[in-house]
Structure 1
Amino acid sequence: MTEQANNGFDIREIQRILPHRYPFALIDRVISYVPGESLHAIKNITMNEPVFTGHFPGEPIFPGVLLLEAMAQATGLLGFKMMENEIGSDEMYLFAGIDKARFKRQVTPGDRVDFHVTFIKERRGLWKFSGEAKVDGQVAASAELMCARRNMKP
């Protein structure tokens, strides 16, 4: 049974949850999420992205690997929200693997990327999600992603 979608949250909540900071913080806002099921987040791509100085001069294309990283960050947000009342301050979700990555269209300055991630299953501490990155309703990238909850204290 699907739970009611929650309103999203802004960059302050994202920064409270994820350790990523400029220039590697790749989620601008969470539009909505359904606890234990799915999350919809966005990233606005601007010409000011530092990656465009080298990828590629005169033909700026947002790298596919960064789309996958942004999907992984979205899965981390969903995973944290799923375990919010159980996770300790010394724990973190880490990107653990990727399968079936596909790239369908280029992402360029001016695009808004909508990330849709869905929880698939958890097994032995490894969480599996499906993810899509869309621009104007068209799939730019998709993948199955895995993340693991880890204690960060030695």
Structure 2
Amino acid sequence: MSLLTTKEIMEIIPHRQPMLLIDTIEELEPGKRGVGKKCVSYNEPYFAGHFPGEPVMPGVLTIEALAQVGAVVILSCPQFKGKTAYFAAINNARFKQKILPGDVVMLEVEMIKQKGPIGIGKATATVDGKVAVSAELTFAIG
């Protein structure tokens, strides 16, 4: 059973369809760590153009999905409730395998540093236990 449903995620972050890119939160330690899940469907709107005949989830949208999990982690802290988490930096992004329709993507973000309204998270997206995307994401709370 999931810890947070899509509806509960939308109570924490402002994203809505088609830009809400996480389905559930499976694990959550507010301010520290979180694991989200994205079930990639053939019906995703970006597949119409990325790429016709060979649908692949865009890497930047995987980074965005990771950032949304990170936003849930940081905005679950009482002092940040009701605020928005913005990108401040993306570092060391690596794209190791394609994410395809039918894949279940596990999105893990561990906060490795936080000072005031700025946080840095180590982010990893996996499919079937294999790393698809990794990056270091910096968040600014506004």
> Is 2:126 aligned against 1:134?
yes
Q: Which residue of 2 aligns with 1:4?
A: none
Q: Secondary structure at the match of 1:9?
A: coil
CA contact (8 A) 2:38 2:105 kept: yes
Alignment gaps of 5+ in structure 2: none
The within-5 A match list for 1:71-110 is 71-81=66-76, 83=77, 85-87=78-80, 89=82, 91-110=83-102
Quick one: distance in 2 between partners of 1:127 and 1:19?
18
Aligned counterparts of 1:59 and 1:148: Cα–Cα separation in 2: 35
Percent identical residues? 40
Q: Could you tell me which residue of structure 1 aligns to residue 31 of structure 2?
A: 36
- 2:106 maps to 114
* Alpha-carbon separation, structure 1, partners of 2:80 and 2:128: 35
Offset of 1:110 from its aligned partner? 0.3
Query: Which residue identity does 1:136 align to in structure 2?
Result: D
Q: Which runs of 5+ in 1 are unaligned?
A: 1-6
User: Cα RMSD between the aligned structures?
Assistant: 1.2
Calculate the TM-score normalised by the size of structure 2. 0.94
The superposition leaves residues 98-148 of structure 1 with CA deviations (integer Å, 9 ceiling, x where unpaired) of 100000000000000000110111135310000000000000000000111
| Residue in structure 2 matched with residue 19 of structure 1 by the alignment | 14
C-alpha distance in 1, partners of 2:56/2:43?
12
Cα deviation digits, residues 27-77 of structure 1 (max 9, x gap): 100001123321010000011000000000000000000000001111000
Shift in Å, 1:87:
2.8
- Return closer, same or farther for 1:23/1:104 CA change in 2, 3 Å cut-off: same
Question: Deviating runs (4+, > 3 A) in structure 1?
Answer: none
TM-score by length of 1: 0.87
Question: In the aligned structure 2, how far is the partner of 1:41 from the partner of 1:88?
Answer: 19
SS in 1 for 2:46: helix
Give the AA of the match of 1:87.
F
